[in-house]
Structure 1
Amino acid sequence: MTAVLLYPFIIVAGLLQALGNSMNAQLRARLVNPWLTATVSFLPIVFVFTALFFLMPTPLPTLATLGQMPWYAPLGGIAGAVAVFGGLAFVDKVGAGPFNGLTITGNIITSLALDAFGLFGLPGSGFKLVPWIGGLLMVGGVVLIARTSGNEGGKDEGLAGKLLYPFILVAGALQALGVVWNAQLHHALVNPWLAATVSFLPVVFVFAMMLFVRPSPLPDRDGVAKVRWWMPLAGIAGAVAVFGGLLFVDKVGAGAFNGLLITANLLTSIALDHFGLLDMKTVKAGPERLGGAAVMVVGIVLISIF
């Protein structure tokens, strides 16, 4: 299967990731505690992938493949979860626009560097000007979209919010690294369902431990009653993107994979906001948002083709 034939699957994964982000935001609003929200969101993922592994337990890794597994490979899920938790914890402090803009910028730059230098087992393509121009266009498109997302209530986040910017950039970089590390884990464990289970299991453990350490605040009865049936499925929707990276990133490259994923994610997010779906606040898609989306599409075309 050629890399281009995988693009539709990656686009669908990006669409589901956007749905998962919006569902997580609604779940956090009801459950209040970010550690509880993350645990509830990620726990069904482990259950689903473990069940699939028991249904399809072959192939299994060999001692040779396990011996070649780098130490960082099982940390791919945790690396990717940093951005998810950052959204739960920081988006109300810096605003949805700046948060998404910073994480995506960190993700795109890191992805292009991974491809250029052939890091973490990826085939190195060397520095190519056109994909980097595409990356800059994508960042520009994100900025245009982020300008219209603004901050909650239209307030400036102040100095305290701006001090979080470096951490949010790092979260975006870790998101890109997590995709590649998961691909390495798949190579070592062979079975994709086993690899996904191993990737997500430490994430649930970490979030559950943090909930045990910091159990407050907790939701009240009214908040729990407002949790709709689809909200706890946020993690599963987002996990499709992680599973896609586990399978496809070494075939299409980190830049193309993450670029397609992000573009599909943001285009879906614009549609969700425009129509007010999944209980999201309605934000009409004006010229800046549509222009930013068009610029991003041009950017991902340059990354994917060249």
Structure 2
Amino acid sequence: MNASLLYPFIIIAGCLQALGNSMNAQLRGRLINPWLAASVSFLPIVFVFTMIFLALPTPLPTLDTLAAMPWYAPFGGVAGAVAVFGGLAFIDKVGAGPFNGLTLTANILTSVAMDSFGLFGLQGGGFKPMPWIGGLLMAVGVAFIARVTPDKGAEKDEGHGLNPRLLYPFIVVAGALQAIGVVWNAQLRGALVNPWLAATVSFLPVVFVFVFVFLIRPTPLPTKQDIAGIRWWMPLAGITGAVAVFGGLLFVDKVGAGAFNGLLITANLLTSIALDHFGWLGMKQVKAGASRLGGAALMIGGIVLISLS
């Protein structure tokens, strides 16, 4: 099967991921406590995947496939969730533009490195200049897009707290782990055979962590007015975003980590630009000016280089 035939499904997953991010932002605004909001967002994911697995319990893993599973494979969901933790902890300190730019750039370059060197069980393609040039183009595109954010609405970044650059290494690690988590999830799916079981196992530790942190830090809590303002679609944010994780379980070993994450991120950011431009889903309206459109063009050029190499 031609791997490029899977690209439309990955693009749809990236669009849904962007919608999920905006829906999560609205949910957090209503539930006040970010850990409560994260728990409410992730719990339906586990419920849905568990119900589908119970309805479609076969195929099941064998002792041989379980024995061949790397020890780190069940932690793909946790690795990917580090970026969520980072957003909760750091985005108000460094700003949305620098945070998203750093995480996505680290994600892209880590994906290209895994494809080139065959890390974590991927088939290594060796060093090829075109994917790296494409990755760098995408990184520059992300930087241009991140210059204009709903928080600032200007072409220049401003300061965000005391010495925010001290947090940059942690944010870069979060972006790298996000790319690594996609590959770990694919390996988990290979070991557990059933993709619905693999998705359930991937998300369970994430839900446990969010609920545990909320129980430790249960305040502040939403008021009755806050809860009354919750729209029916807000708690579905996690399920919308989880389509990308499930896509990784199914497709990353077929198209490669670089192409998968590149397509996913490009679709995510282009959808985010549209959401900001039109002010959909309650987002603060930010017009798609030359900086954002130019960054989008660079990202599209980058993914073409990665995909065709």
TM-score, normalised via structure 1 length: 0.97
Residue in structure 2 matching 1:233, options 213, 233, 236: 236
Equivalents in 2 of 1:150, 1:165: separation in Å?
A: 20
Query: What residue in structure 1 maps to residue 36 of structure 2?
Result: 36
Contact 2:150 2:284 (8 Å CA) reproduced: no
Letter in 1 for 2:268: N
Query: What residue in structure 1 maps to residue 259 of structure 2?
Result: 256
Letter in 1 for 2:13: A
Deviation per CA, 1:73-130: give whole Å up to 9, x if none. Answer: 0000011111123223322222211111011011011101110110111000111111
Contact 1:34 1:85 (8 Å CA) reproduced: no
Letter in 1 for 2:259: A
Give the SS at the match of 2:284.
Answer: coil
1:287 has 2:290 as partner: yes
Give the SS at the match of 1:149.
Answer: coil
Query: What residue in structure 1 maps to residue 223 of structure 2?
Result: 220
| Residue pairs, 1:101-250, within 5 angstroms | 101-149=101-149, 151=151, 156-250=159-253
Equivalents in 2 of 1:85, 1:33: separation in Å?
A: 13
Query: What residue in structure 2 maps to residue 64 of structure 1?
Result: 64
Count of aligned pairs between the two proteins? 306
1:17 has 2:17 as partner: yes
Give the superposition deviation at 1:290.
0.5
Deviation per CA, 1:150-176: give whole Å up to 9, x if none. Answer: 645875203343222111111110100
Which sits farther off after the overlay, 204-213 or 161-170?
161-170
Give the SS at the match of 1:157.
Answer: coil
Contact 2:133 2:302 (8 Å CA) reproduced: yes
Show structure 1 runs of 5+ residues with no match. none
Letter in 2 for 1:253: G
Letter in 1 for 2:112: L
Give the superposition deviation at 1:25.
1.1
Letter in 1 for 2:219: S
Letter in 2 for 1:51: M
Query: What residue in structure 1 maps to residue 78 of structure 2?
Result: 78
Identity within the alignment, %: 76
Equivalents in 2 of 1:165, 1:224: separation in Å?
A: 35
Equivalents in 2 of 1:144, 1:13: separation in Å?
A: 23
Give the superposition deviation at 1:148.
1.0
Letter in 1 for 2:75: L
Question: RMSD of aligned C-alpha atoms?
Answer: 1.3
Give the superposition deviation at 1:226.
1.6
Contact 1:15 1:264 (8 Å CA) reproduced: yes
Give the superposition deviation at 1:229.
1.1
Contact 1:138 1:296 (8 Å CA) reproduced: yes
Give the SS at the match of 1:268.
Answer: helix
Deviation per CA, 1:25-65: give whole Å up to 9, x if none. Answer: 11111112121111111000000000110111100000000
Give the superposition deviation at 1:16.
0.3
Equivalents in 2 of 1:237, 1:89: separation in Å?
A: 23
Equivalents in 2 of 1:250, 1:179: separation in Å?
A: 10
Give the superposition deviation at 1:3.
0.7
Letter in 1 for 2:179: A
Contact 1:69 1:185 (8 Å CA) reproduced: yes
Equivalents in 2 of 1:255, 1:170: separation in Å?
A: 17
Which sits farther off after the overlay, 153-162 or 78-87?
153-162
Show structure 2 runs of 5+ residues with no match. none
